[in-house]
Structure 1
Amino acid sequence: MKLLKLTFLILLLSGGISQAKTDTIEVYSQAMKKSLKATVVKPSGSEEKDQEFPSVYVLHGAWGGYLDWHRNVRKPNLLQDLADLYQIILITPGVAPFSYYYDSPLMDSVKYETYISKELIPYVDANFPTINDRKSRGIVGLSMGGHGAMMISAKNPDLFIAAGSMSGVMNIDVRTWVGNEATQAERKKSQQEMLGEINYDYPFSEYTAVGLVDQMKENGIELLIDCGIDDFLIETNRQLHQLLLDNGTPHQYIERPGAHTWDYWTDALPFHILFVNQVFEKQKSK
């Protein structure tokens, strides 16, 4: 098995051709009264196998969509190769820009935590050969999707065993970002439209990842936080890292050269899927 995975890894890094199949689905959200698209990437030959597979939800960032992880990565067929390598099913949901994957208390059109946790996951488990168990389900994401992965997993520990963030918005307080002040003002305005007046200072709001560190500790979900040192969100990641250290939450934290780019995320995703798969394997031995 190790030799087989090594062979797959060599093909993955060299841009080998995958036979994994990708389906596009459309799931109606009763909570938001609209349909949303996603892709489901299944390992090669899964339809001929009498077998169920672990699943990982891979979330996109702001301005993005359900096809981002297929169209924008720098290695063709990256998700398909990873599905084959680890024999897992990968799901890429699409959500609205700047929604941060939370449920708005003010807007019925922004209920993305409910959509992912109570509508999309049950649909996928009912229609694809996934293992319907938290021990075989993970969630990762980039930027806004990193926030979504950390927030949704913290609030729904019955659904996930592992979560990963790449260049994540670990604090939606734009004062912690490094960058264009006009853009930051626009983001804060959109947050206020969806959330109203929330507390951006300690104790942090439940609508931002840094406000959920106690749940992260209590839940015991395995966490990987990864950010480039030149990323405008680096301080939000360092802040979450320190809060998790302060309250004694086990987690892995990585800083490495790179910025808020698809080059960075293309390199990051294989490590996040490896991390989640290692958690899956560890659960099998328990």
Structure 2
Amino acid sequence: MPFRTLEISFPEFAPKGISFVTVKSAALKRRVDLSLYVPPSAPQGPLPLVTLLHGVYGSHWAWLFKGGAHRVLDRLMAEEELPPMMLAMPSDGLWGDGSAYARHAEADYHRWIIEEVPAAATLVDPRVAHASHFIAGLSMGGYGALRLGALHPEKFAAISAHSSCTDIAHMQGFVEETTEQFQLTEEAPMPVIECLKQNASRLPPLRFDCGQEDLLIEHNRTLHHQLGEANIAHVYEEFPGGHTWEYWNEHLADSLRFFGKTLG
């Protein structure tokens, strides 16, 4: 087993289809949590895995109990025949106001997402082991999804993001900690555009969106233009709305539809 310890909630006490998981992470050198959702109606056979990354101040429960991610998935399955998927919603590791899903001197939040979250999901439901994997996120989590997806294109069948920071420097408007306090040990670039350019020829399908009243809208527009100048295929969309859970609850459906299209 990839974890020294693994605790899984009992299904009779948790909301239907939801599991709460705590593992002892070698990457983080401590225990860490993630929430999982498997639609109760999912048939036997390969089960695609969607990793959803939360934003600053949040934790593993945010996509479920502020974003209603499981209900969005259920609705799309019922109304639009979206294929069943597992949702994996990890904590970012709970460093400061947000770890940026990056490598710090004291813990590897990057490795936690890329290696350990899929491993934990597979232990809970082995059907995800041989199925497509996707990554998405909001705000800081959008930054993590875009950056980690770009750096590990072989691991994901598609990437999506909402209301994203596009460089770790953009977190300074949200977090208490300074960039220096992160004590980053990343070897890869921190700006999303540099990571996408680095693996431009190997990127899976890519999309991102932002609300027109969002304080991060200009950063997203800039990334869109940079990708166009670099001839990197992508989908960029703007919608009414701001940096809110109402926006993310509505537009998570766009990510899930995008992922569903890759499954044929």
Q: Common fold, TM-score beyond 0.5?
A: yes
Percent identity (aligned): 27
Count of residue pairs the alignment pairs up: 243
Distance change >3 Å, CA 208–CA 83, structure 1 → 2? farther
Aligned twin of 2:52: 58
Looking at structure 2, the residues matched to 76 and 125 of structure 1 have their Cα atoms a distance apart, in angstroms, of 18
Relative distance call for 1:197 and 1:216 in structure 2 (3 A) is: closer
- Read off the aligned partner of 2:226 and give its amino acid letter: L
CA change 1:74–1:30 in 2 (3 A) is closer
Which residue in the other structure is 1:123 paired with? Answer: 120
User: In structure 2, what is the Cα distance between the partners aligned to 1:52 and 1:193?
Assistant: 42
* 2:242 aligned residue (241, 247, 259): 259
Q: Find the counterpart in structure 2 of residue 236 from structure 1.
A: 219
Structure 1: gaps spanning 5 or more residues: 1-18, 178-182, 199-204, 282-286
| Residues 1:36 and 2:19 aligned together | no
RMSD (Å), alpha carbons: 2.6
Residue 75 (structure 1) shift: 8.3
Distance 1:264 1:186, change over 3 A: closer
Alignment correspondent of 2:180 = 192
**Structure 2 counterpart of 1:92, one-letter code:** M
Superposed CA offset, 1:163-195 (max 9, x none)? 111001012334xx8xxxxx63955x5322114
**Segment drifting more, 55-64 vs 92-101:** 92-101
Determine whether 1:207 maps to 2:190.
Answer: yes
Do residues 152 (structure 1) and 135 (structure 2) align? no
- Is the 8 Å Cα contact of residues 41 and 83 (structure 1) preserved in structure 2? no
Q: Which moved more, 1:212-221 or 1:80-89?
A: 80-89
Q: How many Å separate the matches in 2 of 1:76 and 1:223?
A: 22
Q: What TM-score do you get using the length of structure 1 for normalisation?
A: 0.77
Q: Secondary structure in 2 aligned to 1:126?
A: helix
Dislocated runs of 4+, deviation >2 Å? 73-86, 129-133, 171-174, 183-187, 195-198
The higher radius of gyration belongs to 1
Which structure shows the higher helix fraction?
Answer: 1
CA distance in 1, matches of 2:74, 2:63: 11
Counterpart selection for 1:220 from 193, 203, 208 = 203
Shift of 1:218: 2.3
Give 1:61 shift. Answer: 0.3
Superposition deviation, residue 260 in structure 1: 0.2
**Which of 75-84 and 50-59 deviates more?**
75-84
User: TM-score, length-normalised on structure 2?
Assistant: 0.83
**Matched residue type, 2:173:** Q
Q: Which residue of 1 aligns with 2:10?
A: none
- Residue aligned with 1:130, SS: helix
Which residue matches 1:5? none
For structure 2, the 5+ residue unaligned runs are 1-14
- Looking at structure 2, the residues matched to 75 and 56 of structure 1 have their Cα atoms a distance apart, in angstroms, of 11
